[in-house]
């Protein structure tokens, strides 16, 4: 179903004129299993890393890897101002667990507290980012590939059943 939705959007004439007008390589907007799943992988990878301008990081690797850029940029926005505190706290706690550090007590969400405890926060935060950035993005990559392949198989089976029913009606 997701595949059909993307294929419908691909046939839109406005997209083709946009590509021609701005001379965008077609691979960056292609809609196929590999391009979409790579876009999700790259977007989630950069989305979990606590850094400014994550979208620029996505764009910086476009010459090296071919993927659907709009999908990747939209995946980066899963880490938005509403979700960031929860994501970063989870990554911080995971980093503390992996490093064997105790968690900080009396956490206050103000600039003075962060500036005083920056050295104690930054290492566990980035160590905790690694399993989420690599693990979640890779897991979702494989899930999307599996769902896409299953959707194609289901489509082929349904098409075959329709053909057999049609053939049966014509011979009867």
User: Count of domains in the chain?
Assistant: 1
Lowest mean pLDDT segment, chosen from 12-26, 71-85, 86-100, 105-119: 12-26
Structure confidence at residue 14 (pLDDT): 73
Lowest mean pLDDT segment, chosen from 2-6, 38-42, 127-131: 2-6
Average the pLDDT over 116-143 and give the result.
Answer: 93
Structure confidence at residue 106 (pLDDT): 79
pLDDT cut 70: percent of the chain above it:
90
- Does 81 reside within a domain? yes
- Does 64 reside within a domain? yes
- Does 56 reside within a domain? yes
Please check whether residue 92 is in contact with residue 50, taking contact to mean a CB–CB distance below 8 angstroms.
no
- Does 100 reside within a domain? no
Looking at residue 103, what DSSP letter applies?
P
How far apart are the C-alpha atoms of 152 and 22, rounded to whole Å? Answer: 33
Structure confidence at residue 27 (pLDDT): 74
- Does 23 reside within a domain? yes
Neighbours of 44 (CB within 10 A): 24
153: containing domain: 2-89+132-171
How far apart are the C-alpha atoms of 63 and 89, rounded to whole Å? Answer: 33
pLDDT digits (tens, 9 = 90+) for 5-47: 666 655 567 777 777 776 777 777 778 889 999 999 999 999 9
Mean pLDDT across the chain: 86
How far apart are the C-alpha atoms of 131 and 61, rounded to whole Å? Answer: 21
How far apart are the C-alpha atoms of 124 and 10, rounded to whole Å? Answer: 43
- Does 106 reside within a domain? no
- Does 73 reside within a domain? yes
């Amino acid at each position: 179903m997701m595949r059909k939705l993307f294929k419908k959007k691909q046939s839109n004439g406005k997209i083709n004129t946009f590509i021609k007008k701005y001379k965008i390589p077609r691979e960056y907007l292609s809609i196929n299993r590999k391009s979409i799943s790579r876009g999700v992988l790259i977007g989630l990878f950069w989305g979990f890393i606590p850094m400014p301008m994550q979208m620029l990081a996505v764009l910086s690797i476009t010459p090296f890897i071919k993927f659907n850029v709009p999908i990747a940029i939209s995946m980066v926005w899963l880490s938005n101002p509403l979700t960031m505190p929860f994501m970063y706290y989870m990554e911080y706690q995971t980093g503390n667990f992996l490093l064997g550090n105790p968690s900080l007590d009396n956490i206050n969400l103000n600039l003075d507290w962060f500036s005083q405890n920056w050295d104690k926060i930054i290492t566990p935060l980035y160590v905790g980012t690694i399993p989420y950035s690599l693990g979640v993005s890779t897991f979702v990559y494989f899930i999307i590939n599996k769902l896409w392949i299953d959707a194609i198989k289901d489509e082929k089976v349904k098409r075959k059943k329709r053909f057999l029913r049609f053939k049966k009606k014509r011979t009867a």
